[in-house]
């Protein structure tokens, strides 16, 4: 993932976590084990990453305690900002992650189910701490829908309209994930990026 603030490019490796391991697939399917999250975060930090994002795509209760420990250990090992997402349903979840070392918290499915969560998060912790993840998939030549549940459920909601509404509600940043381009090594979905921008 890359991010541009005031024309300055940032490199933000996004590490998908499942059962305590970093995984990678193609179009959100066929996940393969890539390695240890702390080891990879250190490696990206040493290589010059500006920020690290951890996304717990399994988002189980067991995963939550693992994620808190991972955040504490990663915060002790590296000095760049950390973003974390996966299974955050309320302010208590966000508070626990912030206490463990997260600078930003990312939500996707829970915000789709209850959009006011973005406003609550921004009011409690500031919009700079709130990142909305949008898992988008092309459904027609000029339309992408927002998907929930790790890219498995089509919400029927237009991804561009959802991005606009989310920013109005309090999202400080958007992590835009193209399901169509994910893991294909064909580059970014520039049409989707331009449409949302």
- Who contacts 108 (Cβ-Cβ below 8 Å, separation ≥6)? 85, 132, 133, 134, 135, 148
6, burial (CB in 10 Å: exposed 0-12, middle 13-18, buried 19+): exposed
> In this structure, are residues 25 and 32 in contact, taking their beta carbons and an 8 Å threshold?
yes
Does residue 11 sit in helix, strand or coil? strand
Instruction: In whole angstroms, give the CA distance from residue 179 to residue 134.
Output: 10
Q: Is 16 among the residues known to form the active site? A: yes
Instruction: In whole angstroms, give the CA distance from residue 94 to residue 166.
Output: 17
- Strands 29-35 and 21-26, by their bridges, are antiparallel
Q: Is 36 among the residues known to form the active site? A: no
Q: Which of 61, 93, 135, 189 is catalytic?
A: 135
Closest CA to 73 of 116, 42, 118, 110: 42
Instruction: In whole angstroms, give the CA distance from residue 196 to residue 18.
Output: 28
Q: Which of 16, 56, 182, 189 is catalytic?
A: 16
> In this structure, are residues 181 and 189 in contact, taking their beta carbons and an 8 Å threshold?
yes
Residues with catalytic annotation? 16, 135
């Amino acid at each position: 993932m890359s991010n541009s603030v005031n024309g300055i490019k940032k490199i933000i490796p996004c590490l998908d976590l499942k059962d305590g391991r970093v995984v990678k697939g193609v179009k959100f399917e066929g996940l393969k084990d890539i390695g240890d999250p702390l080891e990879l975060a250190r490696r990206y930090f040493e290589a010059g990453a500006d920020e690290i994002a951890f996304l717990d795509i399994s988002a189980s209760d067991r995963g939550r305690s693992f994620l808190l420990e991972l955040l504490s250990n990663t915060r002790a090992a590296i000095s760049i900002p950390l973003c974390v997402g996966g299974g955050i349903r309320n302010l208590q979840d966000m508070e626990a992650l912030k206490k463990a070392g997260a600078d930003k918290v990312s939500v996707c499915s829970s915000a789709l189910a209850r959009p006011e969560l973005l406003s609550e998060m921004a009011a409690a912790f500031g919009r700079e701490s709130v990142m909305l993840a949008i898992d988008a998939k092309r459904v027609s030549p000029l339309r992408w829908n927002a998907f929930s549940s790790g890219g498995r459920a089509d919400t029927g909601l237009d991804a561009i309209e959802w991005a606009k509404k989310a920013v109005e509600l309090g999202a400080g940043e958007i992590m835009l994930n193209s399901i169509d381009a994910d893991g294909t090594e064909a580059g970014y979905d520039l049409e989707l990026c331009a449409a949302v921008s």
